[in-house]
Every structure is written in structure tokens, then in C-alpha cells.
Amino acid sequence: MAIDADAMSDVIEVKRPRPDAPPGDVDNYSKQFWSRTVEQLKEQGLWRDAFAPLLERYVRACELARHARVRVPDHGTARGAAGQPVEHPLIRTPRQAEHDAHRYAEALLLLPADRHKLGFGEGVGDGLLRG
């Protein structure tokens, strides 16, 4: 079965007023997180409009992890079919989303160690999003 690329372009392409504008369907916290991240990347001279899709995946992974984490009880368990404690079914969701977010952060050079390796001149211990 062949895929019609022209038909898919409407489905895949997300329209934004500007490449550095956050997606409209993320929550307010994620919109603020997006804006702070773009601002920091611009200050460091690392922002390129072409990074918007990667940043979107990063922000969405962080949002998914945050939303899933609040649905998992502190003890991380649920009751199995026989009433025994088992790992909560959502416990893997934030773990995988955080793993994905970390990979996206590396690609965006959000981690100080990655910027340092490429010679962007900051100490490895410096953070990205302060305050």
C-alpha cells in the first residue's frame, strides 16, 4: 500500500505562527517551559528554527512524564487480579517519557555536559533553566 505524501503533509505538518512559538495544544506549564527553553537556547546562540520539531518532542515528553507521574501512587503499586500488590501500570510511562526527554535534551544541547563537550565554554556544573 503506497502512502500519498501530499495527503500526509497536511496531517504531519503542524502550523505555528513562528517556529519558536509553542504548540497550541500543550498545557500552560509546557508553553512556559517551551518559551524558557527557546529563550535560553537563543541566549546561548544555539537556537535554530529547524530545532522546533525536536523541541516539540522534548516538551511533549516532559509533559507526558509530568502528567503520568501524578497518576501513579507514591508507593508505585496497584492491586493485581488476586489482590496482590503489583507494579502500577502507569509507572513505565513517565520512566520512558523521561528517557525520551533526556535523549531530546542531549540532541538540543540542553545538558551542560553536552555543551561543554562541544566547546561552548561553560562549566559542566552550570544549569540551563534557572529560577
Tens-digit pLDDT profile for residues 63-96: 999 999 999 888 888 899 999 999 888 889 999 9
Q: Evaluate whether residue 5 is within a structural domain.
A: no
List, in order, residues 6 or more apart from 111 with CB less than 8 Å away: 105, 128
Q: Evaluate whether residue 59 is within a structural domain.
A: yes
Q: Evaluate whether residue 92 is within a structural domain.
A: yes
Q: Evaluate whether residue 122 is within a structural domain.
A: no
Tens-digit pLDDT profile for residues 22-53: 999 999 999 999 999 999 999 888 899 999 99
**DSSP category for residue 130:** -
Q: Evaluate whether residue 80 is within a structural domain.
A: no
When computed from its CA atoms, the radius of gyration of the chain, rounded to whole angstroms, is: 18
Domain count, the chain: 1
58 closest CA partner among 28, 75, 38, 79: 38
Residue with cell 508507593: 75
Range of the domain at 56: 19-74+86-117
Q: Evaluate whether residue 131 is within a structural domain.
A: no
Q: What is the pTM of this model?
A: 0.74
Q: Evaluate whether residue 103 is within a structural domain.
A: yes
Residue with cell 531530546: 104
